[in-house]
Amino acid sequence: MKVAFLSTFALDANISLINALRETCDIYFFTEALYEIYNFIDGSKLKQTITKGHEVEVLQRFGNLISLDKTFVVKGTRNANIIKKLSISYKIHQELKKINPDVIVIDNYMLTYFLTTLSWREKMLMIVHDPFLHSGENFVIDRYLRKIHFKLIPHKILLNFNQKNEFVEYYREDSSKVFTSFLSVYDYLRFYVSGSHQQENSGSFNVLFFGRISPYKGIKYLLDGFVKMLKAGTYDNISLTIAGSGSFDFDIDPYKKYSQITIINRFITPSDLADLISQSSVVVCPYTDATQSGVVMSAFAFQKPVIATNVGGLPEMVEDCKTGMIIEPKSSESIYNVLSELYLNRDLLKEMAQNIENTYFSGEKSWRNSAGQFMNAIEKVNRS
């Protein structure tokens, strides 16, 4: 079967999923170089509207995961430039007509692939990363494009099972056309590890938050819980790093006075991210609402346990007391308690790390099993 995968992302989950899908189908990959934060490709360096993957330097290191000759990088433009956007969409559509895929998987609702969506919508499978828009990010343009694409594309796949019934009911979807799968570890980050990346000092306890800064991330609860540890005065050699671009929705100045807290408020490159995760003891996702999280899968790529809140699909990804800890949202006290517990029980951290390897690298949550669920959905779309 011939499958085209249309994306605005190149790295994170997609290249690992495509690598696993290659075992059972002939797959072509399109990704848009628009926002460098999405796929780390600088669109200004592309000379053509559509460039083959083997001509894009950033992608060369991933040649073992994706077929570069079947990878196409689109020099993108913002939705506001609608004439140019539709012109690009037309060129992509012409390229796809040459490939003539049986099924198209699409992971976004931007205008980049809009003409293709109109033509192939009945043979499309849409990945819905966020079944429900996050608090503080319910933008008008997102709602509008989302509504259009949801109407056009009947077949959808969520990346967690927990939210399927609510999604079907809220959007009045046909349950037989809504599928689920899951994320596995973000292999791409391991390709950025170099000899300069030092593993954490066994005597230290390094807490890490990373990702885009946004109100729903619950960062203030993490900071307050960690400050409580500092004020207790009984936890030596501890640190907290908050790393990511975006605007804080609260005053962070009071937290900057603590030398144990580092705030890196900028875009984090893959190399820097690999460094930060490898030096951490535990990663925290203190979200107040969520779907699934690439942060969890990035941490698991380095076998780092994750503390996550009991929201959205996070409890599916983090198994309580096995691959991390699940706590209630909006609770600095809960964060303080679980950090204290893990600080005092380093053996539990080691057990969790081993469980992550067993579950996600070769077990039930591997990319091969995730791709199997995708192929089940793809085959049903092809038969429709």
Percent of the chain having pLDDT more than 90? 75
Looking at the domain assignment, is residue 147 inside a domain?
yes
Q: Verify that 176 and 204 share a domain, yes or no.
A: no
Q: Verify that 309 and 264 share a domain, yes or no.
A: yes
Looking at the domain assignment, is residue 191 inside a domain?
no
Looking at the domain assignment, is residue 377 inside a domain?
yes
Which letter, b or e, does each residue of 329-364 get, where b requires 16 or more Cβ atoms within 10 Å of its Cβ?
bebbebbbebbbebbeeeeebeebbebbeebbbeee
pLDDT-based confidence at 168, cuts 50/70/90? very high
Q: Verify that 221 and 291 share a domain, yes or no.
A: yes
pLDDT at 36: 57
Residue in 179, 175, 128, 177 with CA at minimum distance from that of residue 149 = 128
Q: Verify that 290 and 202 share a domain, yes or no.
A: yes
Q: How many CB atoms lie within 10 A of CB 112?
A: 26
Q: Is the pLDDT of residue 288 over 80?
A: yes
pLDDT at 299: 97
pLDDT-based confidence at 110, cuts 50/70/90? confident
φ/ψ of residue 302, rounded to 5:
-110, 15
Q: What is the CATH number of the domain that holds 234?
A: 3.40.50.2000
pLDDT-based confidence at 293, cuts 50/70/90? confident
Residue 18: helix, strand or coil by DSSP? helix
Positive or negative, the CA dihedral 127, 132, 135, 139 is positive
In angstroms, the CA 41 to CA 59 distance is 8
Q: Verify that 97 and 174 share a domain, yes or no.
A: yes
Which range is least confidently modeled, 73-87, 151-165, 172-186, 272-286?
A: 73-87
Looking at the domain assignment, is residue 206 inside a domain?
yes
Q: Verify that 111 and 233 share a domain, yes or no.
A: no
Q: Verify that 118 and 155 share a domain, yes or no.
A: yes
φ/ψ of residue 50, rounded to 5:
-125, 120
Token duo for residue 273: 């991210």
Residue 327: helix, strand or coil by DSSP? strand
Which residues form the domain of 57? 2-184+366-383
The predicted-structure confidence for 214-248, as pLDDT tens digits, reads as follows 999 999 999 999 999 999 999 999 999 999 999 99
Q: Verify that 231 and 299 share a domain, yes or no.
A: yes
Q: How far is CA 316 from the centre of its chain?
A: 15
Q: How many CB atoms lie within 10 A of CB 247?
A: 8
pTM: 0.83
Looking at the domain assignment, is residue 353 inside a domain?
yes
Q: What value does the mean pLDDT take over residues 6-22?
A: 88
Please tell me the total count of domains within the chain.
Answer: 2
Pinpoint the alpha helices (H) of 178-328: 219-232, 270-279, 294-300, 314-317
Q: Verify that 178 and 238 share a domain, yes or no.
A: no
